[in-house]
Amino acid sequence: MERRPSEMAHDGHHDLLQHGIVTSLADDTQRRDEYLCNNDGVGGGGRSAGDGRQEAIEEVDFFAASSRRGAGGERHQLGEACSGDRRESYLQDTGVKIGLQLLTTDPGLRPAGHEINGRVPNLKLMTLQGELDRLSEENRRLRSMLEQLTRNYSALHSHLLIAMQQQTRDTTRSIPMLPEVGVLLCKAHRLAVRSSSEAPAAMEQHFMELGRARAPVTGETSDGGGEDDHPSPSLTNSVDTASKEHRAVVAASAGGRKGPSLNNDGGASSGPSSPTWAAEKRPKVAQESINSPTSTAGADQASTVPYRRARVSVRTRSDAPMISDGCQWRKYGQKMAKGNPCPRAYYRCTMAVGCPVRKQVQRCAEDKTILTTTYEGSHNHPLPPAATAMANTTSAAAAMLLSGSTTSKDTLMNPAGYFPMAPYGACPTSTATLSASAPFPTVTLDLTRPQSSVQLLQRPPAAIPFPLLQLPPAAYLPQKVLLTEQQVGHGQRQSSMVETVTEAITSDPNFTAALAAAISSIMGAPRSTSGTVNGASSTTTASPPGPPLVPESPQLPAQSCTTFSTH
DNA sequence: CGGTTTTGACCGGCGC
DNA sequence: GCGCCGGTCAAAACCG
């Protein structure tokens, strides 16, 4: 009953935001009138409350102009009820403010027996009308801002896609760039939302959108375009779209035993053997055939970029068979890895049907207390706080990796930090074994070493160039990512440890600056394959024509790493 | 009985 | 082309 016009206007804003669309001014006006009608119904009691509360009564009388018409629920009903005959046409002919004028100035609409005092109500009405005008103007302004934001987002998205297409055309072989773009987009999105004090939800979205980033491009391939016109933040839809499009791509070239499950697109099955699971498998053959330079399918296919997600390995000391990261996992396989007597276990996230996130858990061959957990993929569901902490950690680390912050020169600059290790469970002292079948860039968060703290070990893919952004390696990296074993503890303290790492990585302002620089480097100039990163000097040079690509691995050590330290 | 784990088989990529 | 290896599947076993 006591809702004020300002609240009403805010409701209108909220409604607009909820719908995510920008409604017309007429619609807004109609909403306002609807509110008036609704309030009338409630305020009728106030009007009859009597004389002792004249101020309130006057206000209520003002709103009660159409109380007799009822306060139905549906908009059209309200519109008819409120507008009625003359007011309907009047509203159509004029603009925002007329409804109120009609309500307040048309004597024909006044209820019988309405005790208008003449002077005070008029003054009050003028004030209220002015307030409404002001709020309406503010509403318009906010709507305009929302439109502008939407346009900017669309433009940014389009630019990114265009840049990706151009780069793909320029290269003789497709570049795995989408993870990076996804990270950038989502980071930007997160930063945008962070200002709204929605950081947790934003991080969840960020993590989910990591997987979403490939959807548009894949859609261009499988659907012949069109899907990309929806930079909608609808995460679930995006993920579903990605899955469907992946299925489409895979189904087009599926063979062997995976064919049936992939072609079983009806979605009737569920669980780990469902098509959704299979959809997340990386159809390397399909992608590479699609992206083959010999393909003559046109620009759409040429624009397709293979999606190769980054992996994040977390090395911890734990006696438990698996670290507790807050997610629910189901083991779907176990394999003896070469060079390690300890079997490697494969897990899938079971917190949501179709969640593509997988992880591998393996103990160190020589130090059984060291557990290496490798995460891959992006959750398509909200995460509990504990899982969010880990997700933040891994996503931030992946973002840092994908931002190309480490080079071989970094290793030279930090020789003590060079820590060759197989990312899949081998011990630090064992020789690094490159898996030819796992061309994923991998970040390893080493939380086991007392001194060297957290290390980000980047293993460039053996066969596929990995794009780097123009990021000064050390300057923009978090300076707080120095966690010793004493700091983080063992085993059961993994959760807090992860949170600490997460906070260190994500809260660093330099990292934010790095993100901005990364976006600028993408938006500022088209990608070019001519530029290569040969060291920190080239990465720190300002504004070359686009982010260069990392040279092929033969020119780089099999692994490179950077130790982040505040020393 | 439903969900999870185990485990052998299969598939694709890659090197020789 | 063949073998190796990593990753995954799926039927069977297991478990609460």
pLDDT tens digits along A411-437: 323 322 333 333 333 343 333 333 333
Q: Which residue is nearest to nucleotide B12 (CA to C1')?
A: A285
- Rounded to an integer, the average pLDDT of A466-483 is 30
Cα separations in angstroms, A219 against A213, A240, A356: 11, 12, 18
Residues with CB under 7 A from strand C: A 257-258, 260-261, 272-273, 277-278, 281, 332-333, 335-339, 344, 346, 358, 360, 424, 433, 435, 437-438
Per-chain mean pLDDT for chain A: 48
A308, two tokens: 């190769």
Angstrom distance, A275 CA to C16 C1': 28
Question: Do A208 and A379 meet the contact criterion of CB atoms below 8 Å apart?
Answer: yes
So what's the pLDDT on residue A319? 77
Reduced to 3 states (helix: H, G, I; strand: E, B; else coil), residue A114 is coil
Angstrom distance, A27 CA to C1 C1': 71
Angstrom distance, A348 CA to C4 C1': 26
- Rounded to an integer, the average pLDDT of A178-192 is 40
Secondary structure letter of residue A548 according to DSSP: P
Residues with CB under 7 A from strand B: A 255-258, 271, 284-285, 288, 328-335, 345, 350, 436-437, 439, 462-463
| Residue A339 pLDDT exceeds 70 | yes
So what's the pLDDT on residue A347? 92
**Positions of chain B reached by protein Cβ under 7 A:** 3-15
| Weakest mean pLDDT among A146-150, A158-162, A485-489 | A485-489
Which of the listed ranges A347-356, A469-478, A484-493 does the model predict with the highest average pLDDT?
Answer: A347-356
Number of other CB atoms surrounding residue A128 within 10 Å = 18
| Residue A480 pLDDT exceeds 50 | no
Residue ranges of alpha helices (H) inside A369-508 are 385-402, 408-413, 485-488, 494-506
Confidence of residue A290 (pLDDT cuts 50, 70, 90): very low
So what's the pLDDT on residue A346? 92
CA dist A389 and A384 (Å) reads 9
Nucleotide of closest approach to A283 (CA, C1'): B12
Closest alpha carbon to A190 in A434, A407, A391, A458 = A391
- Rounded to an integer, the average pLDDT of A85-97 is 39
- Rounded to an integer, the average pLDDT of A506-527 is 41
| Residue A132 pLDDT exceeds 80 | yes
Angstrom distance, A348 CA to B3 C1': 14
Q: Report the relative pairing of strands A358-363 and A370-376 from DSSP bridges.
A: antiparallel
| Residue A168 pLDDT exceeds 60 | no
Angstrom distance, A246 CA to B12 C1': 17
CA dist A3 and A6 (Å) reads 8
Question: Each residue of A353-398: pLDDT tens digit?
Answer: 888 888 899 888 878 888 888 888 888 888 877 777 777 767 777 6
CA dist A300 and A304 (Å) reads 7
For tokens 């519109």, name the residue: A79
Nucleotide of closest approach to A436 (CA, C1'): B14
CA dist A458 and A310 (Å) reads 10
Angstrom distance, A374 CA to C7 C1': 14
pTM beyond 0.75, yes or no: no
| Residue A527 pLDDT exceeds 60 | no
Angstrom distance, A387 CA to C10 C1': 29
- Rounded to an integer, the average pLDDT of A268-278 is 38
Secondary structure letter of residue A3 according to DSSP: -
**Positions of chain C reached by protein Cβ under 7 A:** 4-10
**Residue A519: exposed, middle, or buried by beta-carbon count in 10 A (0-12, 13-18, 19+)?**
buried
| Weakest mean pLDDT among A66-75, A301-310, A465-474 | A465-474
Question: Do A67 and A44 meet the contact criterion of CB atoms below 8 Å apart?
Answer: yes
Question: Do A176 and A401 meet the contact criterion of CB atoms below 8 Å apart?
Answer: no
Of residues A97 and A144, more confidence is placed in A144
Element (H or E) spanning A491, and its range?
none
Element (H or E) spanning A289, and its range?
helix A284-290
Which of the listed ranges A10-19, A141-150, A455-464 does the model predict with the highest average pLDDT?
Answer: A141-150
Nucleotide of closest approach to A360 (CA, C1'): C7
Angstrom distance, A389 CA to C16 C1': 30
Q: Above pLDDT 90, what percent of chain A?
A: 1
Nucleotide of closest approach to A331 (CA, C1'): B5
